[in-house]
Structure 1
Amino acid sequence: MTEPRYDQDLGTPETSTVKAGGRPDKRRAISEAARRVFGQQGYARASVDAIAVEANVAKRTIYNHFTDKEALFLSVAVEGADAVTEAVRVLMERHLRKIVNLEEDLTAFCLDRANAITEFPDHFALVRTIHAEVTRLPAGVLEKWMAHGPPSAHQRLAPYLRRIADRGLLAFDDAEKAANRLNTLTMNDVLIRSFYGALPLPGSAVEEIVHDGVHAFLRLYAPAPSAPEERI
């Protein structure tokens, strides 16, 4: 069987690049295997043959579900990003929907979010592949992943911070910029120092990064103190 060309235009994972039909359990096995193989071997080196072996399916079975290697990579990258996004959404609802103590609630959210890295090892291995091979990935793949992955995380956090600001607990002009700053102060160092989960940090190191980051964020976006009432 001749391997399909990889230079065709890409659709979204739900449209032209992922085929309808096929057994869901087979598709799940293929996706899980592909995520592992891409994470271990990288995009360029990974082959559909290796993924078929890892999934314990025939190569033609993969093409019953996905049009080509690009489609398969895009699908598993987006699925992983969406899974992490959903996990973070649950954490935002738990910690940021009803604020009791702003610093404590923000810290608890950021700690849980940082610790969630260890819950998705195959996904973050794939993220390391994306960072390492960014110049080799098809532009369409990279663009669609960025719409689902970490680059858009601040957009999902922004509404929660805006509601907190509406209560007078924070002050900023742009909620998305404030959300991006919170991500930068509390998550970037964890991701970089752990090499995106490859070398998990000790809990004490994560706690220090998060506590310091939240403290700096609150100082940066603290509302102005109310002016004292004039005595007549």
Structure 2
Amino acid sequence: MHQTPTTGDRQDTAGRPRRGLAEKRQAITRAARTVFGRDGYTRASIDAIATEAGVSTRTIYNHFAGKELLFQTVVQESATQVGDAQLDIIDRRLGKVTDLEADLTAFALAWVAPLTEFADHFGLVRQINAEARHLPKAALDAWQEAGPRRVFAALARRFAELAEEGWLQAPDPGRAATHFVLLTATDVTQRSYWGAYPLDAAETEEIVTAGVQAFLRAYAPSKR
């Protein structure tokens, strides 16, 4: 039996979603990221998201089955966007190393830049950390797989390559990557409350520089 597509499923003659529907979906996810980042998952309502997006609640339900699916989608898409930016930083800053300390410092400074560049995303991260026990497990897993796990795996691979090239002494590149981020970026992240109150450039550079030096005391080979 032929079934008439619902509003959220309408397509053009080429089988692609109509442009208007795609734009509405984008408006909904942008609004949801703002509202979830501001109010958290528990307090956020579909009504508030609809108001922020300038659409009806029915329009939201035409695209998403409910708040849980919308939250998971927003978190996954946002983490993917930030993760892609961080992967690009790894490629650009660590693709070719000529001066280990200088290159690692430049990399770490670039690594913390997304805190302000993707303020809405890190608003979501603040809420995730505050509400983790009350959030859908699927949304937490989607966030980790799209963002942190994917990025840390890439950083660990690059550190393994640097160890093979003789730049690092790192029998466990994954642990080395974790230590590097803890020493250089975590303090910046926590002091700025995940970018809510950005640190000035001098303070950020001081934290990063000291962190890189501590990392190298543990992981730099005795001789090159």
TM-score after normalising by structure 2: 0.88
Change (3 A) 1:184 1:151: farther
Q: Which of the residues 177, 180, 204 maps onto 2:178?
A: 180
Q: Is the partner of 2:113 in helix, strand or coil?
A: helix
1:62-103 residue CA offsets vs partner (Å, 9 max, x unmatched)? 112111101111111111111111111111111101111111
Moved more, 150-159 or 109-118: 150-159
Partners of 2:52 and 2:184 lie apart in 1 by 36
Aligned to 1:62: 60
The answer for the alignment partner of 1:140 in structure 2 is 138
* Of 72, 76, 85, the match for 1:74: 72
Instruction: Structure 1 unaligned segments of length 5 or more: list them.
Output: 1-18, 227-232
> What is the aligned length?
208
* Alpha-carbon distance in 1 for matches of 2:168, 2:192: 30
- Separation (CA, whole Å) in 2 of partners of 1:26 and 1:166: 49
Supply the distance in 1 between the matched residues of 2:209 and 2:141 (Cα, whole angstroms): 33
Deviations for 1:16-65, whole angstroms, at most 9, x for unmatched residues?
A: xxx76561111110010000001111101110111001000111111121
Pick one of 187, 199, 202 that aligns with 1:204: 202
RMSD across aligned positions (CA): 1.5
Kept in 1: contact 2:188–2:204 (CA 8 A): yes
Q: Confirm or deny that 1:131 pairs with 2:142.
A: no
Matching residue of 1:84: 82
Q: Which residue does 2:37 correspond to in 1?
A: 39
Name stretches of at least 5 consecutive residues in structure 2 with no aligned partner.
1-7, 10-16
What's the CA shift string for 1:137-182, capped at 9, x where partnerless?
0222222222223355321201111111111110111111111111
**In structure 1, how many angstroms separate the alpha carbons of the residues matched to 2:35 and 2:68?**
14
Secondary structure class of the residue paired with 1:223: coil
AA paired with 1:216? A
Contact 1:154/1:183 (8 A) holds in 2: no
C-alpha displacement of 1:218: 1.1
Q: Tell me what 1:224 maps to.
A: 222
- Mapped to 2, the partners of 1:102 and 1:108 lie a distance apart of 10
Counterpart of 1:130, as a letter, is I
Which residue matches 2:160? Answer: 162
Tell me: CA distance 1:203–1:216, structure 2 relative to 1, closer, same or farther (3 Å): same
Deviations 1:157-215 (CA, angstroms, capped at 9, x unpaired): 01111111111110111111111111111111011100101111111111011101111
CA contact (8 A) 2:87 2:151 kept: no
- Choose the corresponding residue for 2:97, options 89, 96, 99: 99
